[in-house]
Amino acid sequence: KKKGGGGNKGFQRIANEEMNRARTPFLVNMIGLGMAAPTIYHHAQEELKRELLPGILSGEQIWCQGFSEPGSGSDLASVQASLTPDAASPGDFLLNGHKVWTSLAHFAQWMILLVRTSREHKHKGLSYYVVPVEGHRGVTVRPLIKMTGEAGFNEVLFEDTPVKEAWRLGKTGEGWNVAMTTLLHERGAGPLVTPAGGVGSEGLAHNVRGLIALAKTQRRNGRPATEDPQVRARIAALAIRERGLAENGKRARSGTLVDHPMRLPLQVKLAGTELLQDLAAAALEIEGPAASLYLSDERAPAEGQWPLAYMNSFGATIAAGTSEIQRNILGERVLGLPKS
């Protein structure tokens, strides 16, 4: 409560499901609320908590995540962005490196950052910091334009960027452990902080309803698409997957029904993003040739939202760890299976 909390996950889940149902605007600070705040809460010094948490909760500080690099995506421990001592400010550092696929960096004031502080050890050579990006010396943010025409991702370059020792989370060399806290919340944050239409239970349910509504407006052989047995079977199969995922997610409310803390977050991320992709693909098949019409075309079914959803859905199965990586983690760490 002293840090601005006081509720519980159940109430938060209900609130966010209702906001999703009402189609509230995109939650721009999802990284700040869903990943940065819990990581700061668990690992930062008290003074840093007091400085940063209120701004995250109020929405005054937008955050981004600096993990992936051009040469280290799935192999997160191979990051090369590094800190070296700052001769002009003893005890502090200079940051040099290159982060990529950084969502929201073009809006963000702060970044959670995994950096290399030693080259002698792969995992133990990593440390975790928070760094200001907006207007901070040596930081360059370059938006990456997606095939949708949007600028959702960015590359961020650091050139002798000042970093204070007080901005470190956890101990030097223990950044990997701190990053696991972030990833646990990242993969489990979907139902809590997902924007409308995402992989949260109500977001997926909305997409199923949207798919049914679309089928009612499209025609197959002169009749509504909903009367086509193949279309009905396709939608039914997707709706069953959505309901199964939603019911499985309810198990998270009882710790006694979950045997591993990563099981449900990984399942939600893996199954939810792949279902999102399959829903969008089904919509384009139902639209037929009209699926080539995009947002700006008034003739586009459903205002052209489904082609946009389809193109964005591929990023969802890559971000926060590819589906292949999720399956490896589930098999090796959760189920205890040997590496292939």
Does residue 254 sit in the same domain as residue 155? no
186, 202, 242, 287: which one is catalytic?
A: 186
Domain boundary among 156, 186, 216: 186
pTM: 0.80
The answer to whether position 64 is within a domain reads yes
The answer to whether position 192 is within a domain reads no
* The Cα angle at residue 63 between residues 60 and 64, in degrees rounded to 5: 160
Does residue 227 sit in the same domain as residue 283? yes
Q: What is the mean pLDDT of the chain?
A: 86
CATH number of residue 318's parent domain: 1.20.140.10
For the ranges 85-94, 256-265, 277-286, the one whose mean pLDDT is highest = 277-286
The answer to whether position 166 is within a domain reads yes
Residue that wins the pLDDT comparison between 257 and 266: 266
Does residue 135 sit in the same domain as residue 256? no
Does residue 150 sit in the same domain as residue 216? no
The answer to whether position 98 is within a domain reads yes
Does residue 161 sit in the same domain as residue 203? no
Residue 175: pLDDT over 90 = yes
- The pLDDT of residue 107 is 93
Domain boundary among 186, 209, 240: 186
Does residue 174 sit in the same domain as residue 213? no
- The pLDDT of residue 328 is 85
Q: Which amino acid is at 102?
A: T
Structure tokens at 138: 């040596």
Does residue 180 sit in the same domain as residue 204? no
Complete DSSP assignment for 242-287? HHHHHHHHHGGG-GGG-SSTTHHHHHHHHHHHHHHHHHHHHHHHHH
The answer to whether position 172 is within a domain reads yes
Range of the domain at 118: 9-186
CATH number of residue 178's parent domain: 2.40.110.10
* Contact of 96 with 143, CB cutoff 8 Å: no
| Residues forming a β-bridge with 94 | 84, 162
Domain count, the chain: 2
In sequence order, the 6+-apart residues with CB closer than 8 A to the CB of 156 are 64, 66, 98, 99, 100, 102, 105, 111, 133, 139, 140, 141, 142
* Contact of 130 with 53, CB cutoff 8 Å: no
- The pLDDT of residue 191 is 42
- The pLDDT of residue 81 is 96
Domain boundary among 167, 186, 205: 186
Least confident of 24-33, 191-200, 298-307: 191-200
The answer to whether position 2 is within a domain reads no
Query: Is 186 in the active site?
Result: yes
Does residue 104 sit in the same domain as residue 236? no
Does residue 52 sit in the same domain as residue 172? yes
- The pLDDT of residue 295 is 82
The answer to whether position 4 is within a domain reads no
* Contact of 266 with 278, CB cutoff 8 Å: no
The model's pLDDT over 63-88, given as tens digits with 9 standing for 90+, comes to 999 999 998 766 788 899 999 999 88
Does residue 182 sit in the same domain as residue 232? no
Give the 3-state secondary structure of 213-226.
Answer: HHHHHCEECCEEHH
Q: Which amino acid is at 1?
A: K
The answer to whether position 3 is within a domain reads no
Does residue 67 sit in the same domain as residue 201? no
User: What mean pLDDT is predicted for residues 177-183?
Assistant: 91
Does residue 201 sit in the same domain as residue 312? yes
